[in-house]
Amino acid sequence: MRVFHCDQYVVPLPPGHRFPMEKYRLLRELLLQRGVLPPSSLTPSAPVEREDLERVHTARYLDALWTGTLSEAEIRRLGFPWSEELLVRSRASVGGTVGAARAALADGVSGNLAGGTHHSFPDHGEGYCVFNDIAVTIRVLQAEKRIQRAVVVDLDVHQGNGTAAIFEGDDSVFTFSVHGEHNFPFRKQRSCRDVGLPDGTGDSAYLDVLAAHLPEVLEAASADLLFYQAGVDPLAEDALGRMSLTHAGMRERDRLVLEAAWHRGLPVVLTLGGGYAKPITATLEAHVGTYETALSVYR
């Protein structure tokens, strides 16, 4: 299983910033320490070129990022202060998803230890998402004639509003989101299928909903590649999630998605998505669980 990472790029953040930038390095180290992945399976991500970002993002937005001229309102919406390091790291995160998608088409499953930045729109970033890596990757692979159709299964607790907006009305991409109905973003976009759940849903109800919808989604999508935004913020320990899933529930969630794809011969790209547990070890355990589950299914 080939897995891409970009934690070699460090973004300077002010003291006390909520975003857990260190989790990317810690996750890679933990996957190696536990023997989940061998060192040979890990590949540093290359920053994606601007011409590929232009397949999704507007020239004005890219110009502002390249020159550091985002407005104060845009910076507040994004949630990160601008820096050269932020630009390079964000480009590398997209590059990791592109690399993982090409690898998944060859091997059946691959992953990016970053990405899942589903709140990014063509003309702005928000919610700690600079570029929409999944959308850019789909457009790159379509342009390369590697795929015609894709399905995005987004199980982050926050709706993938940017991804939904980018592909609304595009029959070649099916977007499916299971998220907290009363959680961020408070103005939802329209995915091909949205399932909004109440706070405190818990394992049983969550898994029942996913099992009921997933076969219909994959049938309707008729896709060549599945992007699994495996956000771990539905976890009970998560500071922003409020969905109350256990670690066992999260692993069963992952198993449902990955086995459904495996039985259909549908290649899968894993991206991380959110995770804001305190302590951070709970977030790391949930991400490790996704990779352990993927390896158990695809072995």
Give average pLDDT by consecutive 10-residue segment, the chain, 299 residues. 97 94 97 98 98 98 98 98 98 98 98 98 98 98 98 98 98 98 96 98 98 98 98 96 97 98 98 93 98 96
For 188, what's the count of Cα atoms within 13 Å in the CB-facing half-sphere?
Answer: 17
pLDDT at 90: 98
pLDDT at 29: 98
Q: What are the percentages of helix, strand and coil residues in the chain, rounded to 5?
A: 45, 15, 40
pLDDT at 201: 98
How far apart CA 294 and CA 254 sit, in angstroms, is 8
pLDDT at 299: 85
User: ∠ CA(163), CA(243), CA(21), 5° rounding?
Assistant: 60
pLDDT at 98: 98
CB 58 within 8 A of CB 70: no
Report how far Cα 203 is from the mean position of its chain's Cα atoms: 21
pLDDT at 278: 86
pLDDT at 32: 98
Provide the token pair at 95: 């590059």
User: ∠ CA(165), CA(109), CA(282), 5° rounding?
Assistant: 75
pLDDT at 41: 98
Provide the token pair at 242: 């409020």
What are the chain's domains? 2-10+19-298 (3.40.800.20)
Three-class DSSP category at 197: strand
End-to-end CA distance of the chain: 10
Provide the token pair at 231: 């956000």
CB 140 within 8 A of CB 225: no
Q: Letter for the amino acid at 161?
A: N
CA distances from 173 to 125, 134, 179, 299 (A): 21, 11, 19, 28
- Full-model pTM: 0.98
pLDDT at 293: 98
How far apart CA 148 and CA 68 sit, in angstroms, is 35
Q: What is the 3-state secondary structure (H, E, C) of 40-58?
A: HHEEECCCCCHHHHCCCCC
